[in-house]
Structure 1
Amino acid sequence: MKLYGFNNLTKALSFNIYDVCYAKTPREQRDYIDYIDEQYNSERLTNILLTLTNMIGAKVLNVSRQDYDPQGASVTILIAEQSMVPVAGETQVAHLDKSHVTVHTYPEYHPETFLATFRVDIDVATCGEITPLSTLDYLISSFDSDIITMDYRVRGFTRDLSGKKLFMDHKMTSIQDYISDEILHRYDTVDLNVYSANLFHTKMMIKEVDLQNYLFKTDLYELSPAVRLSIMENLRREMIEIFSGRNIY
């Protein structure tokens, strides 16, 4: 596709994951916080975003990160399509050419059901030829995701050599087309797309729930069948409501 000047289209991907667990006793709650600090600290999140940046062929201009107490973190990376070297003698505080990648984490806790839900939000905004959809398999595999919601939008327009406006520079039907069959097989998946606005939405919920993976240093078989059933019901209700985006129970 021959363009006049350069590609002005902006592609924005919002990737949200929810990690749900069961933490009843004070010990389990402490273990949960330790788990969050280990799995979602700013250093690990930065490494994930740097890998993502490398995958889409962008250049890192600046990295800012912060850990929070008792848990949670934020990372922001400014990126450009090409390497940008400051002119000798100039002072620059920050330089954003076209794009950025950010991640934020949000812990939530429900004292009555003893459910802990941790949300990770990743936003990738690029301009030009860079398309962040190719990183979805990597992002999904990098986190222990029970529910995933994704939004992708192409905004603005660019022009070809004849001056004709182009509002899309790549074929797009569904976000699912950019996710491997192996991953899709593990989730129930729903699309909601507005093609006239180049707006695409996909949400996913894990199919099989292995209760042991949601307990902290507690053997599944130490719990009675009735307790196991109750925990499973609470976990499923939490996931269904997050997946549906409304209170159901």
Structure 2
Amino acid sequence: MKANFDNKIKLYGFNNLTKTLSFNMYDICYTKSAKDREAYISYIDEQYSAERLTQILTNVTEIIGAHILNIAKQDYDPQGASVTILVCENEIEETSIDALKKDTPGPLPEIVLAHLDKSHITVHTYPEYHPDEGICTFRADIDVSTCGEISPLKALNYLVQSFEADIMTMDYRVRGFTRDITGHKLFIDHKINSIQNYIPDNIKNNYNMIDVNVYQENIFHTKCKLKQFDLDNYLFGYTKKDLDSKEIKSITDKVKKEMDEIFYGKNFDESYYK
């Protein structure tokens, strides 16, 4: 029996499928001195404090149509923050389900569509820096895990636009199974061939993107690296005008090397850009 994903599937009992989106973003910066580095870390901690991250996750909750049960948040010393939100599900209207099943980028947080159950949303931040090279890297890990009709992929559009990252890695997996009214097992309840289907074209055009998908296991992976490079976007507290040509070349190589190592998941030696 083949499930019809274009209409609401008639299930026996609750939809037990667990859908998990893991969204990881990286922001790269170059600082000239220890003082600049400390200023950058302080800036990141302020921009992505537990309070602000809570607001971002609250917006995610609204987009996927959830009702908040509990919020736990924490700023850390010396740096970083975490937020965890537990959410639950209510009755879902058929029109809302139809809108959510479309293989299109999700909305920005103006409309609440439905409610979720046995679900959670978490974020953890990791500001860090190279001890000698002046490179600073800010990483944020967000997990949106839902159990029920709605896919957390609908929050991806908003997450991408909230962080404007240099590097992004995204994983989406559907686990478990549910049953239709005949008792037939369903291991996925929506069409998907790539996470990229849920990212708007104007965003995709800004990134080089690679997919690694395992369709038979309902596992999807996409990673992205920003195409355009302007060194001014990676300097903290000064601009290219403050540098000579040799410094510009050296810093550019360091920043690009950092981005490539994160994107490809491996270290490159000193001759990488020579």
Q: Offset of 1:97 from its aligned partner? A: 4.7
Correspondence 1:46 to 2:66: no
Instruction: Tell me how far 1:34 sits from its aligned partner.
Output: 2.2
Q: How does 1:102-141 map to 2 (within 5 A)?
A: 102-141=122-161
Query: After the TM superposition, which residues 116-195 of structure 1 pair with which residues of structure 2 at under 5 Å, given as runs?
Result: 116-195=136-215
Question: What is the root-mean-square deviation in Å for CA atoms of aligned residues?
Answer: 1.3
Distance in 2 of aligned mates of 1:131 and 1:101:
13
**1:118-151 per-position Cα deviation (integer Å, ceiling 9, x unaligned):** 1100001100112110111110111131110000
Q: Quick one: which of 42, 45, 59 aligns to 1:34?
A: 42
Aligned to 1:236: 256
The residue number in structure 1 matching 2:87 is 79
1:33·1:70 contact (CA, 8 Å) conserved in 2?
no
In the alignment, what sits opposite 1:202? 222
- Alpha carbons 1:21, 1:214 under 8 Å: kept: yes
Secondary structure, in 3 states, of the residue corresponding to 1:170?
coil
Name the CA distance, whole Å, in 1 between partners of 2:260 and 2:214.
24
Return the letter of the residue paired with 2:263: F
The CA distance in 2 between the partners of 1:216 and 1:154, in whole Å, is 40
Matches within 5 A, 1:52-71: 52-71=60-79
Name the CA distance, whole Å, in 2 between partners of 1:217 and 1:119: 20
Shift of 1:70: 2.4
Shift of 1:209: 1.7
Give the superposition deviation at 1:26. Answer: 2.7
Equivalent pair of 1:64/1:76 in contact (CA under 8 Å): yes
Q: Structure 2 residue aligned with 1:214, among 230, 234, 239? A: 234
TM-score (structure 1 length as normaliser) = 0.92
Aligned length: 237
1:54 maps to a residue whose letter is E
The answer to whether the 8 Å contact 2:232/2:239 transfers is yes
Structure 1 distance, partners of 2:199, 2:82, is 26
CA distance in 2 between counterparts of 1:210 and 1:4 reads 55
TM-score scaled by structure 2? 0.84
Is the CA contact (8 Å cut-off) linking 2:117 and 2:146 kept in structure 1? no
Quick one: percent identity of the two aligned structures? 60
Task: Tell me, yes or no, if the aligned pair for 2:117 and 2:148 is still in contact at 8 Å.
Answer: no
Alignment deviations for residues 19-77 of structure 1 (CA, whole Å, 9 cap, x no partner)? 11001213311220221122110011000000000000011000000001222100000
